[in-house]
Amino acid sequence: MARVLVVEDDQFVRSALIRHLTEAAHTVRSVGTALEALREVAQVGFDVVILDLGLPDLDGAEALKMLRGLTDVPVIIATARDDEAEIVRLLNAGADDYLVKPFSVPHLQARMAAVLRRTRAGGNGAEEAGDGVIRVGGLAIDPLRRVAELDGTVLELTRREFDLLAFLARRPGVVVARKELLSQVWQLSYGDDQTIDVHLSWLRRKLGETAANPRYLHTLRGVGVKLEPPPAEGGPA
């Protein structure tokens, strides 16, 4: 089971989450402020953080930004805000998933299980054999070490960018539908294409390409995205 940090200032909600998650055999710690959460994450190893946005000392979005500066532990946002633009902004800022209050504990546990499966399998739900490195043209992606290189240079990728790149690299030359990317990389059953577009744009920049002049990442309008090596570099290794 998982080591969970619950960041929630409502004592009633907090107590209920602690009770139900503990009954499900998770190890749970809880705090009521963002600063306490940062201290806990810096001192204790967690498998997942449940983060409320309405905290008394810092807005949850700012707390998320600070958490991402410390660790890439999976973060599930628990929020009463159901504005789609806000949710997209939080996902782009590094959240792994979100739940709109009120939600049931079984629903939360299902989301936790999905996030943990992806994290423990190297980021996207697919198992890697041994310590094999995925190679596509000049790209070398090590799922176990979570390191990606382009022509021998290490790429500075966020966790989500790495997940997206690795998922596409496992299917070189295959067009992957946006719905599948949302489902497999983001673990979402629905969402805004803007989420994918933003991450593709950041990833392209780090690969030294643009949407107008792609080298590895190719978008087929209305269909999906594929990753393949530049022709001069030959086919996938």
Neighbouring residues of 165: CB distance < 8 A, sequence distance ≥ 6? 139, 141, 148, 157, 203, 227
Residue 35, CB half-sphere, CA atoms under 13 Å: how many?
3
Evaluate whether residue 128 is within a structural domain.
no
Same domain, 101 and 141: no
What's residue 203's pLDDT? Answer: 94
Kind plus residue range of the DSSP H or E element containing 141 = strand 139-142
Quote the domain boundaries for residue 148. Answer: 134-233
Report the C-alpha gap between 3 and 45 in whole angstroms.
8
- Tell me the two tokens of residue 143: 């799922």
Output the pLDDT for position 123: 42
State the DSSP code for 207: T
Q: How many of the other CB atoms lie within 10 Å of CB of 190?
A: 7
Asked, for residue 127, whether it belongs to a domain, the answer is no
- Measure the CA–CA gap between 75 and 126, rounded to whole angstroms: 20
- Per-position pLDDT tens, the chain of length 237: 788 999 999 999 999 999 999 998 889 999 999 999 998 888 877 889 999 988 999 887 888 888 887 777 889 998 887 777 778 788 877 888 888 888 888 888 888 887 777 665 444 333 333 346 888 889 999 887 788 999 999 999 988 899 899 989 888 888 888 888 887 788 776 666 678 888 899 999 999 999 999 999 998 877 789 998 887 544 444
pTM flag (> 0.85): no
**Number of domains the chain is built from:** 2
**Domain annotation covers residue 129:** no
Same domain, 11 and 114: yes
- 64 falls within a domain: yes
- On whether both 55 and 149 belong to a single domain, the answer is no
Helix ranges, 27-177 (H): 34-43, 60-70, 84-92, 105-120, 159-169
Gap between the Cα atoms of 78 and 8, Å rounded: 9
pLDDT of residue 37: 92
